[in-house]
Amino acid sequence: MKSGKLYGVGVGPGASDLLTLRAVDCLRKVDCIAIPRKDQFSPSVAWSIAQPNLGEIAQQERFFLEFPMTKDSLRLKPAWDMAFQEIYQRLQGGKSVAFVTEGDPFVYSTFIYLYHHAQKHWSDVDVEVIPGVTSLSAVAIAADIPLADGQERIAIIPASYGLDDLRTILRMFDTVLLMKVSSCMPEVVKAIDAEGLLGCAVYVSKATMKQQKIIRDIARIKNDHCDYFSMVVVCKKNRSGILEGKRWQDESPYEVEA
């Protein structure tokens, strides 16, 4: 029997109507949907986004997989191995399986590990990745901050992993997106303040969801327990406006050749 096909499906940043048409079509047609969550007692955010577009589909199997929220590889690897085996059993039975993931499957997603595993160990399985709207663009639009213009450079870092280099990164890049700030807001605010950029920083949590929150004075929440789905955007706008005829760090216009 020919193995089934594996799909990595990005379901977007939070609002159910931000799924792409291709994602919805795939999720309606596959035999099985693999739904990640952090443990058996927690809901799946990815599924809460996707489900309103699907309803009940006869003959379609939907199964949950547990992926612990930890950096401890001794806990992660056994959980991944068990989850991957659940998926592969269905693929070997000739069934198509869609793995749903928040945002985009190739941007800080658990699907990346499944993708690499499939490439290495499942030579008989075809894999297709369906892009999704990322939290990066959703947060920028929620905060009303264009991410890049002219000659601007962007850095995207998980804050909890990049604190040692944060001040250097803030100097080097025009726009910095700090993901996963919930566990280290005091250190993040301290670094941004030390670079004199508090006025350029915006905190956004649960972008596009009903619980969306935007805070432009991040100093007042530096000691708060912030939401896991949160991000801080620092945008200096020093190199923007080139296409409008503005020089870098100079507001005087100049002639732009056609």
Do 32 and 105 fall into the same domain?
yes
Distances (CA, A) of 171 to 138, 154, 175, 194, 197: 24, 11, 10, 11, 10
Token pair for 140: 């920028």
Query: Using one digit for the tens of pLDDT, what is the confidence trace for 52-107?
Result: 999 888 789 999 999 887 777 778 888 899 999 999 999 999 999 999 999 999 99
Are both 26 and 51 inside the same structural domain?
yes
10: left (phi over 0), alpha (psi -120 to 50) or beta: beta
Does 88 share its domain with 170?
no
Q: Look at strands 154-158 and 213-215 and give their pairing.
A: unpaired
Same domain, 114 and 196: no
Same domain for 179 and 226: yes
pTM metric for this prediction: 0.88
123 lies in which domain range?
A: 6-130
Residue-wise pLDDT tens digits, 182-220: 889 999 999 999 999 999 999 999 999 999 999 999 999
19: CATH:
3.40.1010.10
153 & 87 share domain: no
Asked if residue 68 is part of any domain, the answer here is yes
Domain boundary among 130, 159, 182: 130
Q: Are residues 140 and 126 located together in one domain of the fold?
A: no
* Same domain flag for 122 and 151: no
